[in-house]
């Protein structure tokens, strides 16, 4: 399995429009963060989790030639805004794009992208095939996804475990029962917004505490704000097995 971090930034991305802080001015490429998304290549199949506003740019940058399904963690705009651009795969693959998400998330997609779901199939609009998921494991093209239920303040969100890899972005609470589903993962990608506490995202220390309990071989943080600080400075303060993610980072499992 090969995992590529397509984006590692919080909802505004980094740099933030109009901001002149040292992170937003940084020339280190690792301080440039598109909105959060990940590409999984498993057994010759290609999956993306979340299609944020930077979806097109990410698919081009990583030369993602085929896409077998798009899976959603939750309905926030920084995770869904790029959905229209799956049209490219409709054209090249000559089929509807399978979308996977909780019922509530799929309903939100229907409202926000009403033209996709209207009875009038205007030529050229995205063609999708909706697949509701819940907390039970599901399979796509023979690959098993285990949903991990997490809380993003009050909003129930899903993370996913695929084999030895677990991906959790927007969260600030994981129950013991769900922690058990993650345990044993060799690599974990976990959201950590900034150093200061936040109402709906793990802070850096909270994420370190979760990962220290789970003890994967390697962990990467994602969904990072400009308030986290400079990539190279923050990394020096982390335990060895935890690194900050950055856009384009590839993980081989």
| Contacting positions for Zn ion (CB under 5 A) | 16, 19, 21, 24, 76, 78, 170, 226
Q: Which is nearer to Zn ion, 143 or 228 (CB)?
A: 228
**What is the nearest approach in angstroms of Zn ion to the Cβ of residue 228?**
10
Q: Kindly report the backbone phi and psi dihedral angles of residue 68, in degrees, each rounded to the nearest multiple of 5, phi listed first.
A: -90, -25
Shortest spacing between CB 55 and Zn ion, in angstroms: 14
Nearer CB in complex with Zn ion: 21/125: 21
Toward Zn ion, which CB reaches closer, 39 or 194?
Answer: 194
Tell the smallest beta-carbon distance from residue 50 to Zn ion (Å): 8
**Smallest distance, Å, CB 19 to Zn ion?**
3
d(CA 87, CA 56): 10
90 or 200: CB nearest Zn ion: 200
Q: How many CB atoms lie within 10 A of CB 90?
A: 17
> Least distance from C-beta 6 to Zn ion, angstroms?
13
């Amino acid at each position: 399995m090969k995992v590529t971090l397509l984006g590692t930034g919080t909802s505004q991305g980094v740099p933030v429009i109009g901001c002149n802080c040292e992170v937003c001015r940084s020339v280190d490429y690792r301080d440039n963060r598109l909105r959060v998304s990940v590409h999984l290549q498993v057994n010759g199949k290609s999956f993306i989790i979340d299609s944020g506003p930077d979806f097109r740019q990410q698919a081009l940058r990583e030369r993602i030639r085929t896409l077998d399904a798009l899976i959603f963690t939750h309905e926030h705009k920084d995770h869904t805004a790029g959905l229209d651009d799956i049209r490219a795969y409709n054209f090249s693959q000559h089929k509807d794009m399978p979308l996977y998400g909780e019922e509530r998330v799929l309903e939100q997609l229907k409202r926000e992208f009403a033209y996709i779901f209207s009875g009038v199939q205007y030529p050229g609009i995205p063609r999708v095939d909706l697949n509701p998921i819940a907390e039970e494991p599901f399979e796509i093209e023979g690959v098993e996804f285990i949903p991990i239920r997490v809380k993003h303040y009050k909003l129930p969100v899903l993370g996913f475990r695929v084999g030895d890899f677990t991906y959790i972005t927007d969260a600030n609470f994981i129950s013991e029962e769900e922690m058990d589903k993650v345990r044993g993962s060799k690599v974990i990608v976990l959201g950590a917004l900034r150093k200061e506490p936040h109402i709906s995202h793990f802070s850096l220390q909270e994420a370190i505490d979760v990962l220290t309990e789970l003890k994967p071989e390697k962990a990467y943080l994602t969904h990072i704000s400009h308030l986290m600080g400079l990539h190279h400075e923050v990394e020096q303060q982390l335990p060895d097995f935890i690194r900050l993610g950055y856009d384009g980072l590839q993980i081989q499992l």
